[in-house]
A and B are shown apart, each in its own frame.
Chain A
Amino acid sequence: MTLYLPIAEMSVSVITFLALGGTVGFLSGLFGVGGGFLLAPLLTFLGIPPGVAVATSTSHVVASSVSGAMTHHRRGNVDVKLGLVMLAGGLVGTYLGVNFVRILTARGLFELTVSLTYVIFLGTVGTLILFEGINASRKPRAPGGSSLRKPGQHSWIERLPFKMRFPRSKLYTSAVPPVVIGMFVGFMSAIMGIGGGFVMIPALIYLLRVPTGLVIGTSLFQIVFVSATATVLHAVENKSVDIVLAVILIAGGVLGAQFGTMAGEKLRGEHLRVLLGMLILLVAARMAFDLAVRPGDLYSLALLPGAP
């Protein structure tokens, strides 16, 4: 069964994209990540124009993170005040990112930027997660079950101005780091089509020293709103959100995520992190390979903006 996509302007197989959404959803449920980092490259690989792939991925991130955010909120695991402060930065970052995408697309540099960002960013994060997971699985399980180190002192962060009190996290700290983190994640989210959980979670733990119980909930809270904003801004600024493609991917994704979560409960956290690290590195390696290998055709074709 095929369907014509109104924005991508191509005819696609529904089954293929349902399966893609399902697979990415399964992995995101399994690892507790948004899955945007897998979805956008896979969509491009299947022939969806890169702009549409990134913009439509952000809507998939909304679907895959909203239920987690709701659950954590109900259990009181979200520091709403901290989330809102980060969101303020996040919205600015998203806005900048979406406009950056438009400028890059006009200059023919969008694909290159996305690839380079993925290679550098995923390469680093993937390596960190992989080694952390390997180290953790070598060590016998600590009685507390937590492998996260106690954060060290950050005297320079404490000297920053605009101090705010975050009662839920029992923090009294400058508003600057959360705003900057939010902004960075928002920017990345807009250009890579990702949620950015794997940047935000370490940043919340190591830089802001948010209690671990609140980290995931607060991160998801921020991701839902940032990716929702990114979707709307892509729709307005770049007209690149394909609602039909989004619905197919989300339908597969939300189902896959439920099964992924069930499967994830049967695996040890350290093993999951090793697998996730390898998966992220695989995506990064694939992108690096494409950049380094001589393309089949050195020429490429693009419609100029303003074309009918």
Chain B
Amino acid sequence: MMCIRMLQRLCVAIFLMFAITGGAAAADRPKEGVEADASTRQVAITSSFTGTEILVFGTVENSVQPSPEAGTYDIIVVVEGMPSPVVVREKSRVAGIWINTSSLPFASVPSYYAIASTRPIDEIADRALLDANQIGFDHVHMAHARDVDVDAATVQSFKDALIRLKEAQGVYVRRDFGVTFIGRSLFRATISLPPNVPVGPLTARVYLFKEGKLLGQYQSRVMLQREGIERFIHNFAISQPLAYGIVTVLLAAAAGLTAAFAFRKPA
């Protein structure tokens, strides 16, 4: 009997020990986080620039994902340009011709906004969370000028037009399945910069989600600047516009005279 009781106690002790250590393991299990970077920190706009691609890659720290395809985590990569003021104009027909009749200025909208994710962002997180972190075209803060008296529906239609036009220009890019896991924790996404990408610093942000909750984010900068002759000409045109204009005229005049001289009929 003693033997059995002792055995029972031992079992309980072992069970408790397992329970305690097991519980402690769950509580102590390191939190998941994200680390990421962009393949290029510096993109040069030269005279041969025709757009480029940057690779954003990163890893989920302490991943519990059993395989790349498991879909335990969701990643959203956002690459954003400097905010700039824009005006959206709407045409309507006046006396038979189409004229810009109404407009809505926006004080600050991203000049460039590329978003890639493991699946459509509205499946990843709810509206409030996306709004709070300004993830996605519809959730980015786009402030319209305050002194304009317009109703919410009109603002929305102008905002929709703004997003649509920016998408058509190729400077707002969305790729719903643009982020792929290539290991249990390693992921990558390519972000394309079109030839008309607005020149200026870019911010790359990577968000890690699990079951609709934001577990971590990581931020990095990509410089996008004119280099070489492109930089020289642009600076010249902006800082010395008078000299720039005169040089253009002299070049034009010289070209005209040279051609006339070269093709002059023998007298």
CB-CB under 8 A from A236, the residues of chain B are: 241-242, 245
Q: Mark B198-211, 1 if CB is under 8 A from A, else 0.
A: 11100000000000
Beta-carbon contacts under 8 Å, B156-170 to A: 158, 161-162, 164-166, 168-169
Comparing B34-42, B55-63, B99-107, the segment that makes contact with chain A is B99-107
Contact A233–B245 (Cβ < 8 Å): yes
Q: Are A243 and B82 in contact (CB under 8 A)?
A: no
B234→A7 contact, CB < 8 A: yes
Q: Which of A9, A232, A297 contacts B249 (CB 8 A)?
A: A232
Residues of the B chain whose Cβ atoms lie less than 8 Å from the Cβ of A273? none
**Chain A interface size range:** 35 or more
**Contact present for B196 and A9 (CB under 8 Å):** yes
Q: Tell me whether A112 and B99 are in contact (CB under 8 A).
A: yes
How far is it, in angstroms, between the C-alpha of A295 and the C-alpha of B226 when the chains are bound?
A: 35
Closest to A246 in B: B248
Cross-chain contact of A235 among B99, B164, B244 (Cβ < 8 A): B244
CB pair A4–B46 under 8 Å, yes or no, is: yes
Does A63 belong to the interface (CB within 8 Å)?
Answer: yes
CA distance A233 to B251 in the complex (A): 16
Contact of A304 with B105 at beta-carbon distance under 8 Å, contacts A7-B234, A70-B260, A241-B245 already known? yes
Report A-chain residues with C-beta under 8 Å of the C-beta of B241: 235-236, 239
Which residue among A70, A291, A301 has the maximum number of chain B CB atoms within 10 Å of its CB? Answer: A301
Q: Are A59 and B249 in contact (CB under 8 A)?
A: yes
- Docked-complex contact A108 and B249, CB < 8 angstroms: no
A239 with B251: in contact, given A4-B50, A299-B161, A300-B100 (CB under 8 Å)? no
Q: CB-nearest residue of chain A relative to B165?
A: A301
The verdict on B90 contacting chain A, using a C-beta distance below 8 Å, is: yes
Closest B residue, CB atoms, query A299: B161
Q: Of A246, A254, A300, A308, which contacts B259 at CB under 8 A? A: A254
A302 within 8 A of B: yes
**Per a CB cutoff under 8 Å, which of A3, A68, A228 touches B48?**
A3
Q: Knowing A6-B234, A108-B87, A112-B99 are in contact, say whether A299-B49 is a contact too (CB < 8 A).
A: no
Beta-carbon contact of A255 and B100 below 8 Å: no
List the B side residues contacting A304 at CB < 8 Å. Answer: 84-87, 105
The DSSP consensus for interface residues of chain A is helix
Which residues of the other chain, B, contact A303 by a CB distance below 8 angstroms? 84-87
Q: Which residues 1-31 in A have Cβ within 8 Å of B in the complex? A: 2-4, 6-7, 9-11
| Chain B residues, Cβ within 8 Å of A224 | 253
Any B CB within 8 A of the CB of A257: yes
Residues of B close to A292: CB separation below 8 A:
96-98
Asked if A142 is at the interface (CB within 8 A of a chain B CB), the reply is no
Does B51 lie at the interface of the complex (its beta carbon under 8 Å from any beta carbon of A)? yes
Q: How far is the CA of A232 from the CA of B199 in the complex (A)?
A: 25
* Residues on A with beta carbons closer than 8 Å to the beta carbon of B93: 294
Contact with B along A26-40 (1 / 0, CB 8 A): 000000000000000
Which of B84, B100, B248 contacts A308, CB < 8 Å? Answer: B84
In the A-B complex, the 3 residue pairs with the smallest Cβ-Cβ separation, listed nearest first, are: A235-B245, A67-B260, A232-B245
Assuming A71-B260, A235-B237, what are 12 further A-B pairs, CB within 8 angstroms? Answer: A4-B46, A9-B198, A62-B256, A231-B245, A231-B249, A243-B247, A254-B255, A292-B96, A292-B98, A298-B92, A300-B89, A301-B169
CB<8 Å pairs between A and B, sample of 14: A4-B45, A9-B196, A63-B253, A70-B260, A108-B100, A112-B97, A116-B97, A232-B245, A239-B237, A300-B88, A302-B87, A302-B89, A307-B86, A308-B200
